[in-house]
């Protein structure tokens, strides 16, 4: 059984929280995490740069000069890659697919691995509940300021660098819009949590952890049921 502190939005400890070992007590596996993160980044990639092959460049249909007798090297088209204005050899293409296959079992295991490592390093803060009455950046900033008083999370507030990833159990426009103008925090639903985002931010805040645990454990159970 693993226990950790749980806090209110004022940054005060309100007791102990039992966290599931199947999610937060997984040994570090750098090879797995690297493979999953690399695949996810590749799958999210949208090719933009595009060059033309020699057959796609306009012009160049006529042979520049006759084959023999000129003393110059033979050429068949001015659109050859070795000519200025010609086609490009092995250039970037927007029709290239960078997609990599990765199964759900590996993705789930990588997620648990990163969460476990974050918890071991003291970079996950569990929040009993997070509520704001109105859409106000000032109120959201105050919450973040209060939470930064928790030991180990002092550098969470007062920086422009994105270093806080806050998960909420369900869609909440009030929270989303209130934190939107704060440059160092990203608010997202727990169902969207993934290894890439977790590794992109130093600190992770999990609001209403009981509901979040149900979702996280469910990812593994769904995989077992499908088998």
The predicted-structure confidence for 136-152, as pLDDT tens digits, reads as follows 999 999 999 999 999 99
The domain in which residue 120 lies consists of 2-45+100-226
pTM value is 0.84
Whether residue 60 sits in one domain with residue 40: no
Q: What pLDDT digit, counting tens, does each position of 198-221 carry?
A: 999 999 999 999 999 999 998 776
Q: What pLDDT digit, counting tens, does each position of 168-179 carry?
A: 999 999 999 999
Q: What is the CATH number of the domain that holds 173?
A: 3.40.1370.10
Concatenated DSSP letters of 71-131: SSPP-S-TTSTTSTT---SS---TT--------HHHHHHHHHHHHHHHHHTT-EEEES---
Q: Rounded to an integer, what distance in angstroms lies between the CA atom of residue 11 and that of residue 185?
A: 17
The domain total for the chain is: 2
Whether residue 86 sits in one domain with residue 126: no
Whether residue 216 sits in one domain with residue 121: yes
Q: What pLDDT digit, counting tens, does each position of 83-116 carry?
A: 999 999 999 999 999 999 999 999 999 999 999 9
Whether residue 218 sits in one domain with residue 128: yes
Asked if the model's pLDDT at residue 226 lies above 80, the reply is no
Whether residue 81 sits in one domain with residue 148: no
- Average pLDDT of the chain? 93
Whether residue 197 sits in one domain with residue 215: yes
């Amino acid at each position: 059984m693993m226990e950790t502190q749980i806090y209110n939005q004022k940054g005060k400890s309100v007791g102990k929280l039992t966290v599931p070992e199947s999610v937060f007590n997984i040994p570090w596996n750098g090879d797995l995490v690297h493979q999953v993160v690399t695949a996810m980044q590749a799958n999210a990639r949208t090719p933009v740069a595009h060059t033309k092959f020699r057959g796609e460049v306009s012009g160049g249909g006529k042979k520049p000069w006759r084959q023999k007798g000129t003393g110059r090297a033979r050429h068949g088209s001015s659109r050859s890659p070795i000519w200025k204005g010609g086609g490009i050899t092995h250039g970037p293409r927007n029709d290239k697919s960078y997609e990599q296959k990765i199964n759900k079992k590996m993705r789930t295991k990588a997620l648990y691995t990163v969460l476990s490592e974050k918890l071991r390093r003291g970079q996950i803060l569990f929040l009993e509940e997070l509520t704001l009455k109105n859409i106000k950046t000032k109120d959201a900033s105050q919450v973040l300021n209060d939470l930064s008083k928790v030991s180990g999370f002092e550098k969470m507030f007062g920086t422009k660098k994105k270093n806080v990833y806050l998960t909420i159990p369900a869609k909440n426009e009030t929270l989303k819009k209130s934190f939107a103008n704060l440059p160092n925090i990203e608010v997202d639903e727990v169902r969207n949590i993934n290894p890439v985002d977790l590794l992109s931010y130093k600190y992770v805040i999990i609001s209403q952890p009981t509901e979040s645990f149900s979702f996280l454990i469910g990812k593994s159970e769904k995989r077992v049921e499908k088998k």
